[in-house]
Amino acid sequence: MSSPKLLAKWDLDHYWHAFTQMAEYESLIIDSAQGVWLYDVHGNRYLDGISSMWCTLHGHRHPVIDEAIRNQISKVSHATSLGVATPPAIELARRLAELAPGDLNHIFFGSDGSSAVEAALKIAFQYWQQCEQPRPTKTRYVALDGAYHGDTLGSASVGGIGKYTAIFEPLLFEVHRLHAPDSRLLPEGSGAEYFLQQLESLLEQHHQEIAALVIEPRIQAAAGMVFQPLGYLRGVRELTRKYNVLMIADEIVTGCGRTGNMFACESEGVVPDLLCLGKNLTGGYLPLSAAIASSEIYKAFLGDQNSGRAFLHGHTFGGNPLSAAAALASLDVLASTEVQSRLRAQCDQLEEILNELSAMQNVAEVRQLGMVGAVDLAPADSHGQCFPPELRFGHQVCREALKREVWMRPLGNTLVIMPPLCITKDELEFLGRVVLESIEAATQSIGPAALQPK
């Protein structure tokens, strides 16, 4: 194997990293991992505080998933999904149909979250062109400010984070945009209906041209872990049904048990028309995603070869048998008594950690849903004001955490705490202590005067 020094040079010279300003990139090369721990090429270890960008659901090198991949690799590693199937992909499709709420029975596999959302958008569009009562004018979408649904052109079009999409605006299609249903922005004494009234006004006026609404259920993740008020998701489902608009639930972050339910939709008894999965589906092992459609939508695509009704869309590695085997094993682990029996205790411990952090001087708010935690950093007594952006305070906190053996990546000045579900009580306690110490250290290193709000 090449030396750490040579790897670092090649990393800087040739490896173009995602969402990274390469002019400022500092090489961190992970050589191995086990459980919640990452090990770099120098032998240093770091607790994986955000599950390697929210996807290593059960941690690294889980024996059940490792074994499933080894068994499958001895049979077949790849077969196309174009007119061909493999046992793992078939079994996974059946398992997801059993787990998904309502009549979400038909699974279209892709490679990643972006491809799942892209497929769902196209499915919704095509559905209205050829359903029993076609509505060819339904060609537009409703999406939320702060939404993130991926980086392909369709998924980016329904995204709502300007720094990711602004430069590509000429390439994107227009959508109807709603304010983010952020619980922190509710007027005193109001609830979900405050945001639902805005949605109903839009649908009442434009429903004839709207194919679908796209939403991240309960939490808008990349927006800074924006939590929606209780009842909002259910209200969205009721309004989309009332105005004959499809609902696409992007559960790429929230699906597969992260929020305490198998799917975040289930917490409000919601059955969308299309549900997208990615990230956690294989436990973070291999690329795989799914767009799950209702029977009503699926039947609109059936006909003979000359009907033109087929969904002419696909991905080379969609339904890959290695990925499917990993996903089946990950779902087995998630359903195990071992994981389910400790999940409640983990959620309670995370709540205690967040409560302790909430008392800190430069913490404005903490939020939690299941094993998803968020910590908003803001100046003490700021009354909604923020740190000067050039300070990159969230980034400074994460740099301090790295010195203390925890790897995290902030969303601006919001810290995400989302460790693998295999984390032990002692490891979770360590993670909480490091976050606290890192906020204190970053505050001291920058200096109180520099941290005055702007």
Residue numbers in the known binding site are 113-114, 148, 250, 279, 314-316, 409
> Which tokens sit at 394?
């969230």
Q: What single DSSP character describes residue 313?
A: -
- Contact assessment for residue 45 and residue 405, using Cβ atoms and an 8 Å cutoff: yes
Measured CA to CA, the distance from residue 426 to residue 321 in angstroms comes to 36
Measured CA to CA, the distance from residue 240 to residue 310 in angstroms comes to 25
Closest among 140, 150, 203, 123 to 175, alpha carbons compared: 140
The Cα-based distances of 47 to 37, 52, 56, 403 in angstroms read 5, 10, 12, 11
Determine the straight-line distance between the first and last CA of the chain, rounded to whole angstroms. 49
- Contact assessment for residue 218 and residue 225, using Cβ atoms and an 8 Å cutoff: no
Q: What single DSSP character describes residue 411?
A: B
β-sheet bridge partners, residue 289: 110
Residue with tokens 């549900």: 275
Neighbours of 312 (CB within 10 A): 8
- Contact assessment for residue 256 and residue 234, using Cβ atoms and an 8 Å cutoff: no
- Contact assessment for residue 440 and residue 358, using Cβ atoms and an 8 Å cutoff: no
Q: Could you list the residues known to form a binding site for pyridoxal 5'-phosphate, using ranges.
A: 113-114, 250, 315-316
The SS3 of residue 84 is: coil
Measured CA to CA, the distance from residue 95 to residue 430 in angstroms comes to 36
Helices (H), 223-301: 232-242, 295-299
E-state strands within 216-323: 219-220, 226-227, 246-250, 274-277, 289-294
Backbone phi and psi for residue 38, each to the nearest 5 degrees, phi listed first: -105, 140
**Sign, Cα dihedral of 389, 223, 414, 427:** negative
Measured CA to CA, the distance from residue 89 to residue 129 in angstroms comes to 29
Q: Could you list the residues known to form a binding site for substrate, using ranges.
A: 148, 279, 314, 409
Measured CA to CA, the distance from residue 371 to residue 281 in angstroms comes to 16
Closest among 125, 326, 100, 113 to 216, alpha carbons compared: 113
